[in-house]
Structure 1
Amino acid sequence: MRYSSNHKAETRQRIIGEAARRFRKHGIEGTGLVPLMKALGLTHGGFYAHFESKDALVQASLEAAAEQTLERWQAPPAAAPTAVPMPEPATPAGDEPVRAVIDDYLSTRHRDEPGEGCPLPTLAAELGLRGQPSATADAMIEHMTALLADCRLAAGPGDGGIVALAAMVGALTLARAVSDRAASDGILATVRAALQPGPREA
Protein backbone atom coordinates (compact mmCIF):
# COMPACT_ATOMS: atom_id res chain seq x y z
CA MET A 1 0.00 0.00 0.00
CA ARG A 2 1.31 3.41 -0.98
CA TYR A 3 0.85 6.31 1.42
CA SER A 4 0.63 10.01 0.65
CA SER A 5 3.44 12.39 1.53
CA ASN A 6 1.11 13.90 4.15
CA HIS A 7 0.71 10.51 5.82
CA LYS A 8 4.46 10.05 5.97
CA ALA A 9 4.95 13.54 7.44
CA GLU A 10 2.22 12.91 10.02
CA THR A 11 3.76 9.58 10.98
CA ARG A 12 7.16 11.23 11.37
CA GLN A 13 5.63 13.84 13.68
CA ARG A 14 3.92 11.13 15.74
CA ILE A 15 7.27 9.38 16.19
CA ILE A 16 8.96 12.64 17.20
CA GLY A 17 6.20 13.49 19.67
CA GLU A 18 6.28 10.10 21.37
CA ALA A 19 10.08 10.03 21.39
CA ALA A 20 10.22 13.53 22.90
CA ARG A 21 8.03 12.34 25.79
CA ARG A 22 9.97 9.11 26.30
CA PHE A 23 13.41 10.69 26.08
CA ARG A 24 12.43 13.26 28.72
CA LYS A 25 10.92 10.62 30.98
CA HIS A 26 13.33 7.69 30.52
CA GLY A 27 16.41 9.23 28.94
CA ILE A 28 18.00 8.45 25.60
CA GLU A 29 19.60 5.17 26.61
CA GLY A 30 16.43 4.11 28.44
CA THR A 31 14.29 4.51 25.34
CA GLY A 32 14.39 1.63 22.88
CA LEU A 33 13.26 1.99 19.28
CA VAL A 34 11.27 -1.26 19.30
CA PRO A 35 8.96 -0.33 22.20
CA LEU A 36 8.73 3.23 20.90
CA MET A 37 7.49 2.12 17.49
CA LYS A 38 5.25 -0.58 19.00
CA ALA A 39 3.53 2.02 21.18
CA LEU A 40 2.61 3.86 17.98
CA GLY A 41 1.39 0.70 16.21
CA LEU A 42 4.38 0.79 13.87
CA THR A 43 7.15 -1.65 13.05
CA HIS A 44 10.79 -1.28 14.05
CA GLY A 45 11.81 -1.58 10.40
CA GLY A 46 9.51 1.30 9.52
CA PHE A 47 11.57 3.61 11.70
CA TYR A 48 14.28 3.88 9.05
CA ALA A 49 11.82 5.21 6.50
CA HIS A 50 11.73 8.37 8.63
CA PHE A 51 15.14 8.64 10.34
CA GLU A 52 18.59 7.46 9.40
CA SER A 53 19.54 6.74 13.00
CA LYS A 54 18.46 7.05 16.61
CA ASP A 55 20.76 10.07 16.94
CA ALA A 56 18.76 11.82 14.19
CA LEU A 57 15.58 11.12 16.15
CA VAL A 58 17.19 12.44 19.34
CA GLN A 59 17.99 15.73 17.62
CA ALA A 60 14.51 16.10 16.10
CA SER A 61 12.86 15.21 19.41
CA LEU A 62 15.03 17.62 21.39
CA GLU A 63 14.05 20.40 18.99
CA ALA A 64 10.36 19.53 19.42
CA ALA A 65 10.66 19.38 23.21
CA ALA A 66 12.54 22.68 23.28
CA GLU A 67 9.87 24.37 21.17
CA GLN A 68 7.14 23.01 23.46
CA THR A 69 9.01 24.19 26.55
CA LEU A 70 9.67 27.69 25.25
CA GLU A 71 6.04 28.06 24.19
CA ARG A 72 4.92 26.93 27.65
CA TRP A 73 6.92 29.63 29.40
CA GLN A 74 6.55 32.33 26.78
CA ALA A 75 3.19 33.13 28.39
CA PRO A 76 3.82 32.18 32.03
CA PRO A 77 1.20 29.87 33.58
CA ALA A 78 -0.44 30.31 36.93
CA ALA A 79 1.86 29.30 39.77
CA ALA A 80 1.76 25.55 40.45
CA PRO A 81 1.63 24.11 43.97
CA THR A 82 4.85 22.99 45.61
CA ALA A 83 5.37 20.07 47.97
CA VAL A 84 5.77 22.32 51.02
CA PRO A 85 3.84 25.60 51.16
CA MET A 86 6.26 28.51 51.36
CA PRO A 87 5.54 32.14 52.18
CA GLU A 88 5.77 34.25 49.07
CA PRO A 89 8.03 37.31 49.23
CA ALA A 90 6.55 40.62 48.24
CA THR A 91 6.98 40.80 44.48
CA PRO A 92 6.75 43.93 42.33
CA ALA A 93 3.97 43.67 39.74
CA GLY A 94 6.48 43.64 36.89
CA ASP A 95 8.09 40.50 38.31
CA GLU A 96 4.90 38.44 38.46
CA PRO A 97 5.37 36.68 35.08
CA VAL A 98 8.88 35.57 36.03
CA ARG A 99 7.66 34.47 39.46
CA ALA A 100 5.05 32.33 37.70
CA VAL A 101 7.72 30.72 35.52
CA ILE A 102 9.90 29.93 38.53
CA ASP A 103 7.00 28.48 40.51
CA ASP A 104 5.80 26.33 37.61
CA TYR A 105 9.31 25.12 36.73
CA LEU A 106 10.10 24.17 40.33
CA SER A 107 6.68 22.67 41.04
CA THR A 108 6.04 19.10 42.13
CA ARG A 109 3.96 18.67 38.97
CA HIS A 110 6.93 19.48 36.75
CA ARG A 111 9.14 17.22 38.86
CA ASP A 112 6.69 14.32 38.63
CA GLU A 113 5.84 14.66 34.92
CA PRO A 114 9.21 14.83 33.16
CA GLY A 115 7.73 13.54 29.90
CA GLU A 116 5.77 16.77 29.51
CA GLY A 117 8.35 19.18 30.90
CA CYS A 118 11.63 20.87 30.12
CA PRO A 119 14.09 18.48 28.43
CA LEU A 120 17.17 20.02 30.04
CA PRO A 121 17.04 18.24 33.44
CA THR A 122 16.92 14.79 31.80
CA LEU A 123 18.69 15.24 28.50
CA ALA A 124 21.40 17.81 29.25
CA ALA A 125 23.32 15.40 31.47
CA GLU A 126 22.92 12.54 29.02
CA LEU A 127 23.98 14.61 26.01
CA GLY A 128 27.07 15.64 27.94
CA LEU A 129 27.92 12.07 28.86
CA ARG A 130 27.39 10.94 25.27
CA GLY A 131 29.73 13.67 24.05
CA GLN A 132 26.92 15.10 21.90
CA PRO A 133 26.44 18.74 22.92
CA SER A 134 23.50 20.36 21.18
CA ALA A 135 22.89 23.71 19.53
CA THR A 136 19.25 23.28 20.57
CA ALA A 137 20.38 23.26 24.19
CA ASP A 138 22.30 26.47 23.46
CA ALA A 139 19.11 28.14 22.20
CA MET A 140 17.04 26.95 25.14
CA ILE A 141 19.59 28.18 27.67
CA GLU A 142 19.86 31.54 25.89
CA HIS A 143 16.08 31.99 25.96
CA MET A 144 15.59 30.93 29.57
CA THR A 145 18.52 32.94 30.89
CA ALA A 146 17.18 36.04 29.11
CA LEU A 147 13.79 35.44 30.70
CA LEU A 148 15.33 35.03 34.17
CA ALA A 149 18.04 37.68 33.72
CA ASP A 150 16.90 39.89 36.59
CA CYS A 151 16.53 37.10 39.14
CA ARG A 152 18.66 37.09 42.28
CA LEU A 153 19.43 34.38 44.80
CA ALA A 154 17.75 35.05 48.12
CA ALA A 155 18.56 32.01 50.24
CA GLY A 156 17.32 32.13 53.81
CA PRO A 157 19.45 31.28 56.85
CA GLY A 158 20.94 27.82 56.40
CA ASP A 159 19.66 27.49 52.81
CA GLY A 160 22.80 28.70 51.04
CA GLY A 161 24.27 25.22 50.77
CA ILE A 162 21.43 23.69 48.73
CA VAL A 163 21.21 26.78 46.54
CA ALA A 164 24.95 26.67 45.88
CA LEU A 165 24.92 22.92 45.20
CA ALA A 166 21.96 23.21 42.84
CA ALA A 167 23.71 26.05 41.02
CA MET A 168 26.97 24.10 40.68
CA VAL A 169 25.32 20.87 39.51
CA GLY A 170 23.15 22.79 37.08
CA ALA A 171 26.06 24.82 35.74
CA LEU A 172 28.19 21.76 35.10
CA THR A 173 25.29 19.91 33.47
CA LEU A 174 24.46 22.79 31.14
CA ALA A 175 28.12 23.48 30.34
CA ARG A 176 28.52 19.90 29.13
CA ALA A 177 25.35 20.03 27.02
CA VAL A 178 25.91 23.19 24.98
CA SER A 179 27.76 23.05 21.69
CA ASP A 180 29.31 26.54 21.89
CA ARG A 181 32.58 26.21 23.80
CA ALA A 182 32.71 29.89 24.72
CA ALA A 183 29.15 29.73 26.05
CA SER A 184 30.09 26.62 28.02
CA ASP A 185 33.07 28.38 29.58
CA GLY A 186 30.83 31.35 30.32
CA ILE A 187 28.29 29.24 32.22
CA LEU A 188 31.00 27.86 34.47
CA ALA A 189 32.66 31.24 35.02
CA THR A 190 29.41 33.09 35.70
CA VAL A 191 28.14 30.65 38.33
CA ARG A 192 31.61 30.31 39.86
CA ALA A 193 31.80 34.08 40.28
CA ALA A 194 28.26 34.28 41.67
CA LEU A 195 28.94 31.79 44.46
CA GLN A 196 30.98 33.49 47.14
CA PRO A 197 32.01 31.56 50.26
CA GLY A 198 31.69 33.07 53.68
CA PRO A 199 28.87 34.42 55.83
CA ARG A 200 26.11 36.40 54.15
CA GLU A 201 25.97 40.08 54.71
CA ALA A 202 23.40 41.21 57.28
Structure 2
Amino acid sequence: MRVSRKQVEENKQTILTAAGRLFRERGFDAVTVTDIMKSAGLTHGGFYGYFKSKDDLIAQTLAELKIENDAAINDVVAQIERYLSPEHRDNFASGCPLAALAAETIRQSEPARDEMSARLQQQIAQLSEAMDDRDAQASRRAAIGSWSAMVGALILARMTADSTFSDEILGETAAWLAEKQR
Protein backbone atom coordinates (compact mmCIF):
# COMPACT_ATOMS: atom_id res chain seq x y z
CA MET A 1 0.00 0.00 0.00
CA ARG A 2 1.39 3.39 -1.03
CA VAL A 3 1.54 6.20 1.47
CA SER A 4 1.05 9.83 0.43
CA ARG A 5 3.95 12.27 0.63
CA LYS A 6 2.08 14.12 3.35
CA GLN A 7 1.76 10.93 5.39
CA VAL A 8 5.45 10.14 4.86
CA GLU A 9 6.39 13.58 6.24
CA GLU A 10 3.98 13.17 9.17
CA ASN A 11 5.43 9.73 9.95
CA LYS A 12 8.98 11.07 9.78
CA GLN A 13 8.10 13.92 12.16
CA THR A 14 6.47 11.42 14.53
CA ILE A 15 9.65 9.32 14.47
CA LEU A 16 11.85 12.39 15.12
CA THR A 17 9.63 13.48 18.02
CA ALA A 18 9.70 10.01 19.57
CA ALA A 19 13.46 9.76 19.08
CA GLY A 20 14.06 13.16 20.66
CA ARG A 21 12.04 12.23 23.72
CA LEU A 22 13.61 8.79 24.12
CA PHE A 23 17.17 10.00 23.51
CA ARG A 24 16.78 12.67 26.21
CA GLU A 25 15.26 10.16 28.63
CA ARG A 26 17.73 7.30 28.12
CA GLY A 27 20.62 8.41 25.90
CA PHE A 28 21.56 7.43 22.38
CA ASP A 29 23.01 3.99 23.10
CA ALA A 30 20.22 2.82 25.39
CA VAL A 31 17.54 3.46 22.76
CA THR A 32 17.08 1.06 19.85
CA VAL A 33 15.49 1.70 16.49
CA THR A 34 12.77 -0.74 17.55
CA ASP A 35 12.09 1.35 20.69
CA ILE A 36 11.75 4.49 18.62
CA MET A 37 9.50 2.98 15.96
CA LYS A 38 7.29 1.36 18.61
CA SER A 39 7.00 4.70 20.44
CA ALA A 40 6.09 6.35 17.13
CA GLY A 41 3.40 3.71 16.53
CA LEU A 42 5.14 2.40 13.42
CA THR A 43 6.80 -0.89 12.51
CA HIS A 44 10.54 -1.42 12.77
CA GLY A 45 10.69 -2.51 9.13
CA GLY A 46 9.73 0.94 7.88
CA PHE A 47 12.65 2.72 9.55
CA TYR A 48 15.02 2.58 6.56
CA GLY A 49 12.41 4.22 4.37
CA TYR A 50 12.96 7.36 6.42
CA PHE A 51 16.61 7.22 7.56
CA LYS A 52 19.86 5.74 6.23
CA SER A 53 20.98 4.56 9.68
CA LYS A 54 20.59 5.22 13.38
CA ASP A 55 23.43 7.76 13.04
CA ASP A 56 21.37 9.56 10.39
CA LEU A 57 18.35 9.51 12.73
CA ILE A 58 20.45 10.94 15.58
CA ALA A 59 21.75 13.80 13.42
CA GLN A 60 18.29 14.62 12.06
CA THR A 61 16.78 14.43 15.55
CA LEU A 62 19.37 16.85 16.90
CA ALA A 63 18.61 19.20 14.00
CA GLU A 64 14.95 19.20 15.02
CA LEU A 65 15.39 19.59 18.78
CA LYS A 66 15.05 22.98 20.33
CA ILE A 67 17.79 23.79 22.80
CA GLU A 68 15.63 26.20 24.71
CA ASN A 69 13.32 28.17 22.50
CA ASP A 70 13.55 29.66 19.06
CA ALA A 71 12.02 32.93 20.16
CA ALA A 72 14.10 35.88 21.21
CA ILE A 73 14.97 35.99 24.90
CA ASN A 74 13.32 39.05 26.39
CA ASP A 75 14.15 38.61 30.07
CA VAL A 76 17.51 36.96 30.81
CA VAL A 77 16.84 36.55 34.54
CA ALA A 78 13.44 34.91 33.87
CA GLN A 79 15.15 32.60 31.35
CA ILE A 80 17.77 31.63 33.95
CA GLU A 81 15.14 30.99 36.63
CA ARG A 82 13.01 28.87 34.30
CA TYR A 83 15.98 26.88 33.01
CA LEU A 84 17.36 26.27 36.51
CA SER A 85 14.03 25.21 37.99
CA PRO A 86 13.22 21.86 39.63
CA GLU A 87 10.52 21.35 36.96
CA HIS A 88 13.08 21.58 34.16
CA ARG A 89 15.55 19.42 36.07
CA ASP A 90 12.93 16.68 36.46
CA ASN A 91 11.74 16.78 32.84
CA PHE A 92 14.29 14.84 30.80
CA ALA A 93 11.90 13.96 27.98
CA SER A 94 11.20 17.51 26.87
CA GLY A 95 14.00 19.34 28.66
CA CYS A 96 17.16 20.79 27.22
CA PRO A 97 18.89 18.32 24.89
CA LEU A 98 22.29 19.88 25.61
CA ALA A 99 22.08 19.00 29.29
CA ALA A 100 20.75 15.53 28.51
CA LEU A 101 22.92 14.60 25.53
CA ALA A 102 26.08 16.73 25.29
CA ALA A 103 28.41 14.17 26.87
CA GLU A 104 27.06 11.43 24.60
CA THR A 105 27.15 13.61 21.49
CA ILE A 106 30.94 13.75 21.78
CA ARG A 107 31.02 10.10 20.65
CA GLN A 108 28.50 10.48 17.83
CA SER A 109 29.00 11.06 14.12
CA GLU A 110 30.32 14.35 12.79
CA PRO A 111 26.88 15.33 11.43
CA ALA A 112 25.36 14.78 14.90
CA ARG A 113 28.09 16.85 16.56
CA ASP A 114 27.64 19.55 13.90
CA GLU A 115 23.89 19.72 14.64
CA MET A 116 24.42 19.98 18.40
CA SER A 117 27.11 22.62 17.84
CA ALA A 118 24.72 24.63 15.65
CA ARG A 119 22.08 24.52 18.38
CA LEU A 120 24.65 25.61 20.98
CA GLN A 121 25.79 28.51 18.80
CA GLN A 122 22.16 29.51 18.22
CA GLN A 123 21.48 29.59 21.96
CA ILE A 124 24.65 31.59 22.66
CA ALA A 125 23.66 34.12 19.97
CA GLN A 126 20.13 34.50 21.37
CA LEU A 127 21.41 34.93 24.92
CA SER A 128 24.09 37.37 23.74
CA GLU A 129 21.49 39.52 21.99
CA ALA A 130 19.45 39.66 25.20
CA MET A 131 22.34 40.94 27.30
CA ASP A 132 21.69 44.63 27.99
CA ASP A 133 24.17 47.49 28.19
CA ARG A 134 27.20 45.62 26.91
CA ASP A 135 29.31 45.77 23.84
CA ALA A 136 29.16 42.77 21.48
CA GLN A 137 32.30 41.08 22.82
CA ALA A 138 31.23 41.48 26.46
CA SER A 139 27.71 40.22 25.62
CA ARG A 140 29.10 37.15 23.91
CA ARG A 141 31.48 36.43 26.82
CA ALA A 142 28.61 36.82 29.30
CA ALA A 143 26.35 34.60 27.18
CA ILE A 144 28.95 31.83 26.89
CA GLY A 145 29.72 31.96 30.62
CA SER A 146 26.06 32.10 31.62
CA TRP A 147 24.96 29.31 29.28
CA SER A 148 27.87 27.12 30.38
CA ALA A 149 26.98 27.66 34.04
CA MET A 150 23.30 26.95 33.38
CA VAL A 151 23.88 23.70 31.48
CA GLY A 152 26.55 22.58 33.94
CA ALA A 153 24.32 23.30 36.93
CA LEU A 154 21.42 21.40 35.35
CA ILE A 155 23.64 18.38 34.67
CA LEU A 156 25.00 18.40 38.23
CA ALA A 157 21.54 18.89 39.76
CA ARG A 158 20.22 15.92 37.75
CA MET A 159 23.21 13.79 38.71
CA THR A 160 22.96 14.07 42.48
CA ALA A 161 20.65 11.76 44.42
CA ASP A 162 20.33 14.32 47.24
CA SER A 163 17.28 16.45 46.36
CA THR A 164 18.18 19.19 48.84
CA PHE A 165 21.65 19.54 47.35
CA SER A 166 20.19 19.38 43.83
CA ASP A 167 17.82 22.24 44.64
CA GLU A 168 20.72 24.17 46.15
CA ILE A 169 22.80 23.77 42.98
CA LEU A 170 19.95 25.16 40.89
CA GLY A 171 19.06 27.97 43.28
CA GLU A 172 22.58 29.17 43.97
CA THR A 173 23.59 29.09 40.32
CA ALA A 174 20.45 31.00 39.34
CA ALA A 175 21.10 33.59 42.09
CA TRP A 176 24.75 33.98 41.08
CA LEU A 177 23.87 34.42 37.41
CA ALA A 178 21.07 36.87 38.23
CA GLU A 179 23.59 38.97 40.19
CA LYS A 180 25.81 39.05 37.11
CA GLN A 181 22.92 40.50 35.09
CA ARG A 182 22.50 43.52 37.35
Is TM (by shorter chain) over 0.5?
yes
Cα gap change, 1:111 to 1:53, in 2 (>3 Å): same
- TM-score, normalised on structure 1? 0.59
* Alpha-carbon distance between aligned partners in 2 of 1:29 and 1:4, rounded to the nearest angstrom: 32
Whole-Å Cα distance in 2 between the matches of residues 46 and 139 of structure 1? 29
Q: 2:5 — aligned with what? A: 5
Aligned length: 137
Tell me, which stretches of 5 or more residues in structure 1 are unaligned?
77-95, 155-162, 171-202
Structure 2: which 5+ runs fail to align? 129-138, 157-182
1:98 corresponds, among 73, 76, 79, to 76
Q: 1:144 aligns with which of 123, 147, 150?
A: 123
Matches within 5 A, 1:47-58: 47-58=47-58
Q: SS where residue 29 of structure 1 aligns? A: coil
What is the Cα deviation at residue 75 of structure 1?
A: 4.7
Distance 1:38 1:139 in 2: 29
Deviation at 1:36, TM superposition (A): 1.6
1:82-140 Cα distance to aligned partner (Å, 9 max, x none): xxxxxxxxxxxxxx700111111111111111111211112110011346462222222
State the shift of 1:59 in Å.
Answer: 0.7
How far apart are the structure 2 equivalents of 1:39 and 1:138? 27
- CA–CA distance in structure 2, aligned partners of residues 138 and 36 of structure 1: 24
Alignment of 1:57-96 (within 5 A): 57-66=57-66, 69-71=68-70, 74-76=71-73
Give the structure 2 partner of residue 121 of structure 1: 99
Higher helix share: 2
Alignment check: 8 A CA contact 2:55 2:108 kept: no
**d(CA) in 2 for partners of 1:140 and 1:40?**
24
In our comparison, the structure showing a higher alpha carbon Rg is 1
Aligned AA (2:19): A
User: Is 1:36 paired with 2:36?
Assistant: yes
Q: Give the RMSD, CA atoms, in angstroms.
A: 2.7
The Cα of 1:148 is off from its aligned counterpart by 3.6
